[in-house]
Structure 1
Amino acid sequence: MSNFDFSNLGPDLILDAIESLGIYPESGLLALNSYENRVYQFKADDNLRYVVKFYRPNRWTDEQILEEHTYSYDLLEHDVPLVVPITIDGKTLFEFNGYRFCLYKSVGGRMFELDNLDQLEWLGRLLGKLHKASSSSLFTSRATINIEQELLESTEVIKQVNFIPPYLQNTFFSDLALLTERTLKHSNTNYQTIKLHGDCHAGNILWQSHDAKSDAILVDFDDCLNGPAIQDIWMMLNGDRQEKLMQLDVMINAYEEFHNFNHAEFSLIEPLRARRMVNYMAWISKRWSDPAFPRNFSWFATDKYWEQQILAMKEQIAALNESTLKLFP
């Protein structure tokens, strides 16, 4: 499709696409929280619950999507708990009226608790197992983290939009340039590049309980890519410096039960946080023509938001100037 949005994806088309696979919804479509793609949960006539995901047109190539699906199945073979796309007639990626989509079995669970050290310990083991299975080869179609290139490209995207009020522009772009400079200065650590989940935050982890046994399951590998192992860990850290050290200690000790971790990568935590901060502003900017974005991110076009981003960048510059987190034996 030539368009980049979902203007033609109505309920009838969604239902027709699902039924083209021989699966017949009995319930209505429950929209799940996703802005990049369109994701819906439903109950079918086989009494099972499913999730259907329609990929944003022109966002990924078929090769990139299929590489994500293959990666998911490879991890499943290594006993990594995750949700994989359903295979029908040997295929996991389907097309209907120009929209590409896939199906998953619906799984439940509670939100992952960042302040729960037992859950962080479990997640550390999961990520150690995941990265061990991921370290033998790299994605060939998907991206590799390149902090310098991404910051420069995101800056250009932000410059092209007309959201930043004139009285803030000089300060905003001056701070953004300084943030970029400090980020690049602190991101020259040598590290092994491996395949990653890429967007491992609390919203993509479901905590489940089974007969007095609790564990976690990973969802949404849409942003999987190549990069340093710390990318799948740093978003779990929150609170003050001492709290982050405690969380990091718990996760890394559990991680190393399955896979060695290069502690030099701790120096990438703040550069990767800066990368996410700037990429997020650029992401919303690029998606603004999608009606879902002005509706759900209306604050993006307010003066207050850009004032807050200036403050956030100053705080991140200060964080980059602090000493790197370190764990001692």
Structure 2
Amino acid sequence: MSVYTELNSSDFTAILADYNLGQLHDFQGIAAGIENSNYFIITDSGRYVLTIFERMQAEELPYFMRLMKHLATNGLSCPDVMARHDGSLLFETNGKQGCIVSCLSGKTLDALNMAQLRSSGESLARLHLAGADFDEHRSNPTGPEWLAGKIAEVVEKTASIYGRDAAELLTDELTSQRALDWSSLPRGVIHGDLFVDNILFDGDQASGIIDFYYAHDAAFAMDIAITLNAQAVLLGDHDQQRMDAFLSGYEKLRPLQQQEREALPLLLRLGALRFWVSRLYDAIYPRGGAMTQTKDPEEYRRKLMFHRRKA
């Protein structure tokens, strides 16, 4: 992710002193994403990712650590959290908490083909099944109250920067979504942020899912909608076929219920609205950082319009 907290070799050496990972050989900041500070580190025992948490509350972090261990134990290819000498899973540096996790095989891709979309669908279904008996819970950090609050904060500046039509679209879609209730849909642990930079591939086969720091309890169909928007919808001529490919892979392991199928078109709109609002907020109220990346809000406005036109 983007690097907001800069570490030097002495910082890494001090952190590694509490692990059984050997001496530091090299490190490199990872300039992608917008939430945490991530580094690749290489030690005597291998290659790892070191993450420093920039925004999350300290009391939330043990949930993510234990979730990743649970998912890995139950058949999902995802990072394993390294334990310190005392068995703890988190370290502290510069007044912030962090963790070290294993590196997975494969690489991220800029865009997925049909075979890769099918494999990604299988991976998401495997995640939902692997988390079925995870007994910890986390509420949705970008739920209805968050959404309404963020729209209130950005709507006027959206009108002045992006135009009155964009501001009206925000409030109109929020009104439509407020009338809906998804509480009866099948639910459990979801990833919540499965963009192409959070899934690894060896060829056409998905080899691992990373970055679980948006994970929470929600409808599985919401996770599907978020992932379809992120991976399958390119605003081109073949988007429906791309979505169908992803869903065919997902349903190999977990067939959708009829109510999930019926909800999906509106959840695609909700997912597009959430990420549009998040990107608008980051563009209007940018944070400083040594290696930061602000993503284009316009992409998700266009995706929301795409789904509204299909309604």
Same fold (TM over 0.5): yes
Query: How far does residue 139 in structure 1 lie from its aligned partner after superposition?
Result: 4.5
Q: Hey, what does 2:264 align to over in structure 1?
A: 266
> Does 2:308 match 1:320?
yes
Q: Contact 2:159/2:166 (CA < 8 Å) preserved in 1?
A: no
Corresponding residue to 2:231 among 226, 232, 236: 236
Q: Hey, what does 1:225 align to over in structure 2?
A: 216
Q: Hey, what does 2:207 align to over in structure 1?
A: 216
Q: Contact 1:135/1:194 (CA < 8 Å) preserved in 2?
A: yes
Q: Which has the larger radius of gyration?
A: 1
Query: How far does residue 97 in structure 1 lie from its aligned partner after superposition?
Result: 4.5
1:256 match: secondary structure? helix
Give the alignment's Cα RMSD to 1 decimal: 3.3
Matched residues in 2 for 1:321 and 1:216: separation? 35
Gaps in structure 2 of 5+ consecutive residues = none
> Does 2:74 match 1:65?
no
Q: Hey, what does 1:78 align to over in structure 2?
A: 74
Q: Contact 1:55/1:100 (CA < 8 Å) preserved in 2?
A: yes
Q: Hey, what does 1:194 align to over in structure 2?
A: 188
Query: How big is each residue's C-alpha offset from its partner over 1:297-316, in whole Å with a ceiling of 9 and x where there is no partner?
Result: 4xx9xxxx8xx84x964773
Q: Give the letter for the 1:217 counterpart.
A: G
Query: How far does residue 55 in structure 1 lie from its aligned partner after superposition?
Result: 1.0
Q: Contact 1:201/1:236 (CA < 8 Å) preserved in 2?
A: yes
Q: Contact 1:198/1:225 (CA < 8 Å) preserved in 2?
A: yes
Q: Residues 197 and 290 (structure 1 numbering): CA distance in 2 closer, same or farther, change over 3 Å?
A: same
Matched residues in 1 for 2:251 and 2:75: separation? 17
Matched residues in 2 for 1:148 and 1:167: separation? 25
Q: Contact 1:86/1:103 (CA < 8 Å) preserved in 2?
A: yes
Query: How big is each residue's C-alpha offset from its partner over 1:139-178, in whole Å with a ceiling of 9 and x where there is no partner?
Result: 43x3326653232111233269xx6685766554334222
Q: Residues 25 and 237 (structure 1 numbering): CA distance in 2 closer, same or farther, change over 3 Å?
A: same
Matched residues in 1 for 2:161 and 2:278: separation? 23
Query: How far does residue 39 in structure 1 lie from its aligned partner after superposition?
Result: 1.0
Query: How far does residue 259 in structure 1 lie from its aligned partner after superposition?
Result: 2.0
Q: Give the letter for the 2:247 counterpart.
A: I
Q: Give the letter for the 1:35 counterpart.
A: I
Query: How big is each residue's C-alpha offset from its partner over 1:244-290, in whole Å with a ceiling of 9 and x where there is no partner?
Result: 3323333323322322323123121122111111122224545x342
Q: Hey, what does 1:277 align to over in structure 2?
A: 276
Matched residues in 1 for 2:307 and 2:280: separation? 19
Corresponding residue to 1:91 among 88, 91, 94: 88
Query: How big is each residue's C-alpha offset from its partner over 1:167-222, in whole Å with a ceiling of 9 and x where there is no partner?
Result: 7665543342223234445x54442232111111111111126xxx9442111111
Q: Residues 72 and 175 (structure 1 numbering): CA distance in 2 closer, same or farther, change over 3 Å?
A: same
Q: Residues 70 and 137 (structure 1 numbering): CA distance in 2 closer, same or farther, change over 3 Å?
A: closer
Matched residues in 2 for 1:319 and 1:277: separation? 13
Matched residues in 2 for 1:314 and 1:127: separation? 25
Corresponding residue to 1:149 among 145, 149, 158: 145
Matched residues in 1 for 2:209 and 2:21: separation? 25
Matched residues in 2 for 1:157 and 1:139: separation? 32
Matched residues in 2 for 1:55 and 1:146: separation? 18
Q: Residues 179 and 314 (structure 1 numbering): CA distance in 2 closer, same or farther, change over 3 Å?
A: farther
Count of equivalent residues: 297
1:290 match: secondary structure? coil
Q: Contact 2:273/2:300 (CA < 8 Å) preserved in 1?
A: no
Q: Give the letter for the 1:198 counterpart.
A: G
Q: Hey, what does 1:102 align to over in structure 2?
A: 99
Gaps in structure 1 of 5+ consecutive residues = 324-329
Q: Contact 2:18/2:84 (CA < 8 Å) preserved in 1?
A: no
Matched residues in 1 for 2:7 and 2:172: separation? 45
Q: Give the letter for the 2:272 counterpart.
A: R
Q: How do 1:169-208 residues align onto structure 2 when only pairs under 5 Å count?
A: 170-184=164-178, 187-189=180-182, 190-208=184-202
Matched residues in 1 for 2:95 and 2:301: separation? 40
Q: Residues 41 and 146 (structure 1 numbering): CA distance in 2 closer, same or farther, change over 3 Å?
A: closer
Matched residues in 1 for 2:106 and 2:121: separation? 19
Q: Residues 263 and 159 (structure 1 numbering): CA distance in 2 closer, same or farther, change over 3 Å?
A: closer
2:252 match: secondary structure? coil
Q: Contact 2:12/2:24 (CA < 8 Å) preserved in 1?
A: no
State the percentage of identical aligned residues: 15
Matched residues in 1 for 2:236 and 2:198: separation? 24
Q: Contact 2:170/2:273 (CA < 8 Å) preserved in 1?
A: no
Matched residues in 2 for 1:86 and 1:35: separation? 23
Q: Hey, what does 1:245 align to over in structure 2?
A: 240
TM-score, normalization by structure 2:
0.80
Query: How far does residue 15 in structure 1 lie from its aligned partner after superposition?
Result: 3.6
Matched residues in 1 for 2:148 and 2:23: separation? 45
